[in-house]
Amino acid sequence: MFILESYSLAVLFCIITMLCWGSWANTQKLAEKSWRFELFYWDYVIGILILSLVFAFSLGSLGEQGRGFLADLQQADNNNIQSALIGGIIFNLANILLIAAISIAGMSVAFPVGIGIALIWGVIDNYLKVPSGNPTLIFSGVILIAIGIVVNALAYKKLTSSAQKVSSKGLIISIIAGVLMAQFYGFVVDGMVKNFSVPEDGKLTPYSAIVIFSIGILISNFLFNTILMRKPVQGAPVSYVDYFNGNFKSHLTGILGGIIWCMGMSFSIIASDKAGPAISYGLGQGAVLVAAIWGVFIWKEFKAAPKGTSTLLYIMFICFFVGLSLLVYSKIP
């Protein structure tokens, strides 16, 4: 299977993860005018599963290093399979809530708050499990990111108090999504081998873990998304009939969103061997910076905000950028 050989290449993979995780929500923004996010999400989940299988039968099955995808599945211990499945279930609940928050409050709010919380919690949790990198630099970066989240919340408060009223529901849902999102990565890592080149018996290689994780997302979606379709956070209920009445473009947009996200997840897991789970996860969740840039400068989500808001947003960008830079530097010798 394909394995990274250097830390610098692992950082590059983490940056690609950051771009993917921070950009996939644009597909939802493109579809939301004519396609409810609950319906979009079914195609998004299908896209995740498709790319996980493509990677498993290509990158995960070629070469002499590690263990091939099918052979890996056959020898995997049930507890490790269960751990990756649970990771998928937790992620799915968190991500559905995040998408709901995006539909209410926009990318420039839902991502910095929700994913920012997930980044802080996830980095600390993964570092405690697998210490890797300079802890002073790692936690200094986390503190700066936390400041960025607070500043973003203040900017959002200015927006909600302006002429353009926005429900605080979006902020609350973002916080809940972030707390849940912080948990999933650890479950996936717990079920995985520690040495990709010489995988331990019973554990999952990264490619197998991502497939099992994706199956967990799909299975749980029949519960979580069905409930959300019937009891939406905003708007009227939708049905499976509405989904099957969707046009090809709408379905393709959702699948593309899932493929983009899964590419980020796959690259993050592959990079965790050389970068360490804390740094790999933390840099990937730098998606908050990418998503905020999309939301502020492309989608103009703060266009109607009062004076002083732009200053807060620039402070947020600086905090996120410096914080993420410290995470990168924390493992450079």
pLDDT tens-digit profile of 9-23? 999 999 999 999 989
Comparing CA positions, the residue from 200, 202, 195 lying closest to residue 274 is 195
pLDDT at 75 over 80: yes
pLDDT at 295 over 70: yes
Dmax over CA atoms of the chain, in Å, equals 62
pLDDT at 262 over 90: yes
The confidence score (pLDDT) of residue 92 equals: 96
Q: What is the mean pLDDT of residues 113-125?
A: 83
Contacts of 319 (CB under 8 A, 6+ apart): 144, 145, 147, 148, 151
Is 21 in contact with 261 (CB distance < 8 Å)? yes
The confidence score (pLDDT) of residue 164 equals: 45
pLDDT at 132 over 70: yes
The confidence score (pLDDT) of residue 190 equals: 93
Using pLDDT thresholds of 50, 70 and 90, give the confidence band for residue 90: very high
Alpha helices in the chain (DSSP H): 7-23, 25-31, 37-57, 69-75, 78-105, 107-110, 116-129, 135-160, 169-190, 206-230, 240-244, 248-275, 277-284, 287-293, 309-329
pLDDT at 117 over 80: yes
Q: What is the mean pLDDT of residues 280-307?
A: 80
Number of alpha carbons in the 13 Å side-chain half-sphere of residue 6: 5
Q: Per the domain annotation, does 127 fall within a domain?
A: yes
Contacts of 246 (CB under 8 A, 6+ apart): 35, 39
The confidence score (pLDDT) of residue 333 equals: 61
Comparing CA positions, the residue from 290, 323, 254, 292 lying closest to residue 16 is 290
The confidence score (pLDDT) of residue 146 equals: 85
Could you report how far apart the first and last alpha carbons of the chain are, in Å?
A: 28
Contacts of 33 (CB under 8 A, 6+ apart): none
Say if pTM beats, i.e. exceeds, 0.95.
Answer: no
Q: Per the domain annotation, does 1 fall within a domain?
A: no
Domain containing residue 112? 7-329
Using pLDDT thresholds of 50, 70 and 90, give the confidence band for residue 107: low
Q: Per the domain annotation, does 83 fall within a domain?
A: yes
pLDDT tens by residue, 180-216:
988 998 899 999 999 999 999 999 999 999 999 999 9
Q: Per the domain annotation, does 12 fall within a domain?
A: yes
Q: Per the domain annotation, does 119 fall within a domain?
A: yes
Is 229 in contact with 243 (CB distance < 8 Å)? no
Q: Per the domain annotation, does 2 fall within a domain?
A: no
CB neighbours (10 Å) of residue 307?
8
59 vs 2: CA distance, rounded Å: 5
The answer to whether the Cα torsion of 295, 300, 306, 309 is positive or negative is positive
Q: Per the domain annotation, does 251 fall within a domain?
A: yes
The confidence score (pLDDT) of residue 234 equals: 79
pLDDT at 167 over 70: no
Q: What is the mean pLDDT of residues 71-82?
A: 96
The number of domains in the chain is 1
Residue 175 tokens read as 């916080």
More confident residue, 285 or 127: 127
Q: Per the domain annotation, does 226 fall within a domain?
A: yes
Contacts of 63 (CB under 8 A, 6+ apart): 1, 2, 3
